[in-house]
Amino acid sequence: MYINLASHYIPSNIIPNSYFFDKNGMDDETIVRKSGIKNRRRTSANENVNTMAISAIENGLNNLPYNITEVDLIIGATYSPYDTVGTLAHVVQQKYGISGAIVFSVSSACSSFVNAIEIAEGYFAMGKAKKALIVTSEHNWAYLNESDPISAHLWGDGASAVFLSSQRVTDKDHEVLGVNTEGHATIGRGPNGVCLKPFDGGISMPDGRDVFYNAIKYMSEKTESILEKSGCKLADLNYLIPHQANMRIINKVAETLNFPIEKVVINMIEFGNTGSASSSIGYSQVFGSMQKGELAVVTVFGGGYSSGAMLVRV
């Protein structure tokens, strides 16, 4: 399986930490100390999950090495949908006139991107698809309770688009050497660790300590596991692309792995936690600059709980 293109979209509306002081009493120094976040992005009034997904595709479409109508599998990934019936994947199909494709959306919280990659791998293995498009988009601000001092300052909006094929298309493709996912609903706070209840408080993180501990544990373990299964060593890894939840988590994962923080892709300081889109946005940020032979691991942890990792090589 090969990745042909990765692109992303970030809204232009910047929300600094100072925004929250009048909302819930959280000041800049406290937010930076607790999360590492300085700014986050918020959609404009005419944007939503679907429009961001389209924008992410548009930002890379000129570099796609084939016509988008050749895609025969479209997977949307989000926990913050604009429409739960006409999903973002179906909106993409309609926008680009991709008739005859398999189309659906999935959610496994912030690990959804890697879950979608694994699903595409399965369809390719069964011979039911040859080219796939994964659109990952989160509109956290649509469900955010600004008065919540625990987690309101964490969230940002953003989207990504990743095109895959069962066979190599160009010599610039990234080969997926391995991908795996796992559910962890039986540990810690499980499904209660992070919540999005549209009619009961919106998006929240009732127990950040439990999320913190398990995110470090499983993102570290999944990174080591995917490398070992693929016959690669941590010392050979050029990029580590973790889910962008908290700078303290990212630092601790790098410390646990004894991996140089300079090789870790970080975007949450300016973008906030963009949910399931965060790791795919990070991957998109380095996709075009990765050199022949370089390795990257995307490692994720999501509320629910769930985890996963993907190893790619140019």
- 273: annotated active-site residue: yes
Superfamily of the domain at 2-165: Thiolase/Chalcone synthase (3.40.47.10)
More confident residue, 200 or 230: 230
pLDDT at 150 over 90: no
> What percentage of the chain carries pLDDT values higher than 70?
100
pLDDT at 305 over 90: yes
User: Using CA atoms, how far apart are residues 139 and 76, in angstroms rounded to an integer?
Assistant: 13
8, 243, 246, 267: the active-site residue: 243
Q: How far is CA 88 from CA 36, 120, 227, in A?
A: 31, 17, 32
Which residues of the chain form CATH 3.40.47.10? Answer: 2-165, 174-313
User: Using CA atoms, how far apart are residues 253 and 230, in angstroms rounded to an integer?
Assistant: 20
Q: What is the pLDDT of residues 93-113, one digit of tens each?
A: 999 999 999 999 999 999 999
110, 140, 246, 267: the active-site residue: 110
- 232: annotated active-site residue: no
- The class (CATH top level) of 174-313 is alpha beta
- 153: annotated active-site residue: no
Q: What is the pLDDT of residues 7-35, one digit of tens each?
A: 999 999 999 999 999 899 899 999 999 99
Q: What is the pLDDT of residues 28-58, one digit of tens each?
A: 999 999 999 999 999 999 999 999 999 999 9
Query: To which residue do tokens 């998006």 refer?
Result: 203
pLDDT tier at 246, thresholds 50, 70, 90? very high
The verdict on pTM exceeding 0.85 is yes
> What percentage of the chain carries pLDDT values higher than 90?
87
Decide if 16 contacts 41 (C-beta within 8 A): no
